Chain A
Amino acid sequence: MSIIEIENLVYEYKRDEDDLVRAIDNVSIEIEEGSFTAIIGKNGSGKSTLAKNINALLIPDSGTVYVDGFNTAADEAGLWEVRQRAGMVFQNPDNQLVAAIVEDDVAFGPENLGVPSEAIDERVREALTAVDMYEYRKKAPHMLSGGQKQRVAIAGVVAMRPKCIVFDEPTAMLDPHGRDEVMDIMKRLHDDGITVVLITHFMEEAADADRIIIMNEGKIELDGTPEEVFRHADRIRALNLSVPIAVELGDRLRKRGREIPGDIIRMEELVTYLCQ
């Protein structure tokens, strides 16, 4: 069953009077419940705009977006249903934490939903444990590292018990260590049954997804499993995007006459294959 249904979505920004920029141009996507989808594209490819349309932060100019059966363009009441079902984690960990103490910040979402206080306490504990930050619950966010702050932000979304979480370049501002932490948490949430949509420009992160969608100039360029998508390495490079190192290396070896199967996209797989 698909949890997100996007049909003929068009979204335009107004740059000036009479100067409309079409950020998303007639895109249709269905995302399966429980899947892990990576959406990749350069700056300005429309990937972030797409993410904000899923969370009803932006409303389509034409076309429709359904989240778990709720139309994002419907009435006010439907809007909150959508936002509770599809949580969103943003790029900058600093600018999405509201409260001066970790546990108060995680409680912010459930508080907005009107959850009774004892139940909030329970949810905060659950959510902070899920991201391994429970021992930091009394700390102030500015005392934490970037990766830790981003994990708190994720806990804030998890505490709302969403079915789907959209991550809008969650690792772009983090150091490599923080990036690994956040990637691990995302995989864990996916294993727990949450639908994950990851917007990113790091190919290595995308290789772990079930499905990759590559966007360019507001349109879908490629769509499929990582194995399928990375077969078109030349098309990806033509969009000024990089491919994972294993794919790049496999490509070059192939050009020198080595037989390398096309479905190898991870370093470990390549190493195992070459060392046979």
Chain B
Amino acid sequence: MIRDITIGQYYPGESWVHKLDPRLKIIVTLIFIISLFFIRDFVGYSIAVAAVWITIGISKVPLRFILRGLKAIFMIIIFTFALNMFMTGGTVLVKIGFLTVTYEGLYRAFFMALRLVLLIIGSSLLTLTTKPVKLTDGIERLLNPFKRIGLPAHELAMMMTIALRFIPTLLEETDKIMKAQMARGADFESGSIFKRAKNMIPILVPLFISAFRIAQELAMAMEARCYRGGEGRTKLHELKFKKRDLAAAILTCLFLALIIVVRLKGG
């Protein structure tokens, strides 16, 4: 089940998109998401689809890998589509019982669904082409200016790094605990949903205890290696803004300009 979720997963590669500065990629993704809400007509959507299509092509991430990420939100897309299709008033196209499908509704539903799909693909492209380490690094650097108003940028990034590092460890731990409880006759597969949820308690309690123990040991190991917060820390890989980053930034600006122009002309 956990394997199905591609949002947040990394697809290893050496493409141009992979090598971009993570700070830039985060900003570009944000701009893309915001620009989606400016789009109103067919021309605008064609530009956005083309932009995503080209980026996927350059990133060399297989399309089926990206589409798998959509599976998780498939129900939401269907729901949005249906809601928009039936609830919008206008010229009636078809009437089935109490449900009416209008021309405007169909138009709107289609674009709403498309907007959602583009939103998911856009943001999963960021995580698919950026190593988690680089992503947290980028977030830390972007949040750095807010340190002055008391935002713990380094601490947040460190927490994310550790969380990512310990997902496999905690999965292993869960597996171990489940097997140990099953060996003692615990049943996790039968019964009603409430019963099954209740049966999870013998897993969750030891898992929490073990998470606390891991945290304590890790904190000690980090201290032993002279960790004392972000102050005076250097980095193995310093982020550098390269020519290709500049090129990507210019392309993003062009994309945004195009979207705005289309919106103003069409609107």
Contact = CB atoms under 8 A, between A and B. Distances in A.
A156 B225 contact: yes
Interface string B190-219: 000000000000000000000000100110
B76 interface: no
In this complex, the member of A98, A110, A140, A156 whose beta carbon has the largest number of chain B beta carbons within 10 angstroms is: A98
B226 interface: yes
Nearest to B213: A95
Interface string B212-242: 0010011011111111100011111110000
Contact of B234 (A98, A101, A104, A114): A114
A107 B234 CA distance: 10
B236 A111 contact: yes
B141 to A, nearest CB: 14
Contact of A109 (B169, B214, B225): B225
Interface in A61-109: 80, 83-84, 87-88, 90, 92, 94-101, 103-104, 107-109
**What is the predominant secondary structure among interface residues of chain A facing chain B?**
helix
A75 to B, nearest CB: 13
Contacts of A117: 234-238
Contact of A80 (B220, B222, B226, B234): B226
Given A95-B217, A98-B161, A100-B164, A114 B233 contact: yes
A160 interface: yes
Contact of B223 (A57, A94, A153, A157): A57
B113 interface: no
A83 B132 contact: no
Contacts of B114: none
B221 A107 contact: no
B67 interface: no
Nearest to A91: B217
Given A97-B165, A98-B161, A99-B165, A112 B233 contact: yes
Contacts of A252: none
B169 A142 contact: yes
A141 interface: yes
B133 interface: yes
A113 interface: yes
In this complex, the member of A55, A110, A112, A124 whose beta carbon has the largest number of chain B beta carbons within 10 angstroms is: A112
A217 interface: no
Contact of B133 (A90, A99, A111): A99
Given A114-B233, A142-B168, A100 B225 contact: no
A120 B235 CA distance: 8
Given A80-B226, A98-B161, A108-B225, A92 B234 contact: no
A253 interface: no
Contacts of B232: 114
Contacts of A160: 225-226
Contact of A95 (B133, B221, B235): B221
Contacts of B131: 101
In this complex, the member of B132, B223, B235, B236 whose beta carbon has the largest number of chain A beta carbons within 10 angstroms is: B236
B4 interface: no
Nearest to A117: B238
A87 B223 CA distance: 10
A96 B214 CA distance: 9
A142 B175 CA distance: 14
Contact of B218 (A98, A100, A104): A98
Nearest to A159: B225
A20 interface: no
Given A57-B220, A95-B217, A156-B225, A107 B132 contact: no
Contacts of B133: 99-101, 104
Nearest to B221: A96
A141 B162 CA distance: 12
Given A101-B133, A108-B225, A94 B235 contact: no
A115 interface: yes
B172 interface: yes
Interface of B: 131-133, 161-162, 164-165, 168-169, 172, 214, 217-218, 220-228, 232-238
17 contacts: A83-B223, A88-B224, A90-B217, A90-B220, A90-B221, A90-B224, A95-B218, A96-B221, A98-B161, A98-B221, A100-B132, A110-B234, A111-B236, A112-B225, A112-B228, A117-B235, A153-B221
The list of the 6 closest CB pairs from A to B, nearest first, reads A96-B221, A107-B236, A142-B168, A95-B217, A109-B225, A88-B224
